[in-house]
Amino acid sequence: MPGLTLGDTVPNLAVDTTHGKMKLHDFIGDAWTILFSHPGDFTPVCTTELGKMAAYAPEFERRGVKLLGLSCDDIESHKAWIKDIEAFTVLSNLVHCDRRSKPGAKVTYQIIADPNREIIRELNMVDADEKDASGKEVPSRALHIVGPDKKIKLSFLYPASTGRNMDEVVRVLESLQRAAKHKIATPCNWKPGDPVVISPSVSNEQAKEMFPQGFKTADLPSKKDYLRFTHVD
Ligand code: BEZ
């Protein structure tokens, strides 16, 4: 993904959203923010994604995270589309009983409009392979998780054909928030409640102080002590 990437500061763009005009840095403030884009309004996969994001909004709020959507169409189109998205959150819950989903969830997060495609270029969200009916660029399914320092901590980049998994968004957020608080990383297939690994930069002496709950070192053939597990909240 050329352009904006991990560690970069999100540009302080002026944007027009379903809730009015604002600057991105004012919106982010000092909170974690999920900025997610969609190829277009009134399209099937996007409708399911925005509906699921609405249903998961309490999960993100509980973790101190703000949500900000983006689709290229204009504000009037977004407002009309939101009615479909909200209706779909009711319909989909009748079919899939999802523990995290609140039936009838409202789209309370803002959605940016970008009819001139200026914002998606700045935010590295352009899909090189997709065009709309008039031949204009459209966004990929990009998702940036931005830290309280306004820097990109994680990015997903999916094509139009593949909807994102919101459980995975919650999972990686849990990982990022723990790694921001403790000198740890989360191993393969980690989920909240599983052990985490202590960062290689932490010596065993430091680890004893940092993790008074203790840690276990894997006994490996190399006898190197780099794989140390502990628990953190
Ligand atoms: C969709 O949301 O379903 C979609 C949007 C653009 C291209 C293909 C699929």
Residue 52 lies in a domain: yes
| The pLDDT value given to residue 112 | 98
Query: Is residue 192 located within the same domain as residue 117?
Result: no
Between CA 211 and CA 2 the distance in angstroms is: 38
Say whether both 141 and 194 belong to one domain.
no
Mean pLDDT of 214-231: 98
The domain containing residue 207 runs over which residues?
182-230
Distance separating alpha carbons of residues 66 and 55, to the nearest angstrom:
14
Nearest to 112 by CA among 148, 70, 151: 70
Residues 68 and 106 both lie in one domain: yes
97 is catalytic: no
Residue 38 alpha carbon to ligand 1 centre in Å: 8
The domain that holds 126 is classified in CATH as: 3.40.30.10
Query: Residue 101: what pLDDT?
Result: 64
Cβ neighbors of 192 (< 8 A, separation 6 or more) are: 171, 174
pLDDT band per the 50, 70, 90 thresholds, residue 185 = very high
Average pLDDT (40-52) is: 96
* Boundary of a domain, candidates 164, 199, 216: 164
User: Of 144, 168, 162, 166, which Cα lies nearest the Cα of 56?
Assistant: 166
Buried b (16+ CB within 10 A) or exposed e, 101-123: beeebebebbbbbbeebebbebb
The tally of domains found in the chain comes to 2
> Is the per-residue pLDDT at 1 higher than 50?
no
Identify whether residues 129 and 226 lie together within a single domain.
no
40 close to ligand 1 (CB < 6 Angstrom): yes
Cβ pair 91, 44 in contact under 8 A: no
Tell me whether residue 217 is in a domain. yes
Confidence bin at 2 (pLDDT 50/70/90): low
Task: Read off φ and ψ for residue 65, nearest 5 degrees.
Answer: -110, 135
Question: Among 38, 45, 73, which is best to mutate for testing ligand 1, by the most ligand atoms less than 8 A from CB?
Answer: 45
Q: Does the structure show a pLDDT above 80 at 14?
A: yes
Q: Are residues 99 and 155 in the same domain?
A: yes
Span 151-180, average pLDDT: 97
216 shares a domain with 101 = no
Average pLDDT for residues 15-28, to the nearest whole number?
Answer: 98
Q: Is the CB of 85 under 6 A from ligand 1?
A: no
For residue 9, the 8-state DSSP code is: B
* Cα first-last separation, the chain: 32
pTM across the whole model:
0.94
Query: Same structural domain for residues 192 and 160?
Result: no
- Looking at the fold, whether 157 and 186 belong to one and the same domain comes out as no
How far is the centre of ligand 1, averaged over its atoms, from the C-alpha of 130 (Å)? 9
